[in-house]
Amino acid sequence: MSATHPETDPSFSIDVEPERDVVRVCPSGEVDMATAGEIRARIDELVERGFTRVALDLRGVTFLDSTGVRLVLELTAEASADGWDLAVVKGPEPVCRVFEITGVEPLVPFVEPAQARSLSSGSAWR
Q: Which long-range contacts (CB under 8 A, 24 or more apart) does 17-21 make?
A: 18/51, 19/119, 19/120, 20/120, 21/52, 21/53, 21/120, 21/122
90/72 Cα distance (integer angstroms): 12
The DSSP letter of residue 113 is G
pLDDT at 13: 95
Neighbours of 26 (CB within 10 A): 19
Tell whether the model's pLDDT for residue 89 goes beyond 70: yes
Structural domains of the chain sorted by starting position, each given as residue range(s) with its CATH number in brackets: 2-116 (3.30.750.24)
Tell whether the model's pLDDT for residue 7 goes beyond 70: no
Mean predicted confidence (pLDDT) in 91-116: 92
Tell whether the model's pLDDT for residue 19 goes beyond 80: yes
pLDDT at 5: 43
Tell whether the model's pLDDT for residue 4 goes beyond 60: no
Confidence of residue 8 (pLDDT cuts 50, 70, 90): low
Among the ranges given (14-23, 40-49, 61-70, 95-104), the one the predictor scored with the smallest mean pLDDT: 14-23
Average pLDDT, the chain: 88
Mind listing the pLDDT tens digit for each residue in 55-84? 999 999 999 999 999 999 999 999 999 999
pLDDT at 123: 53
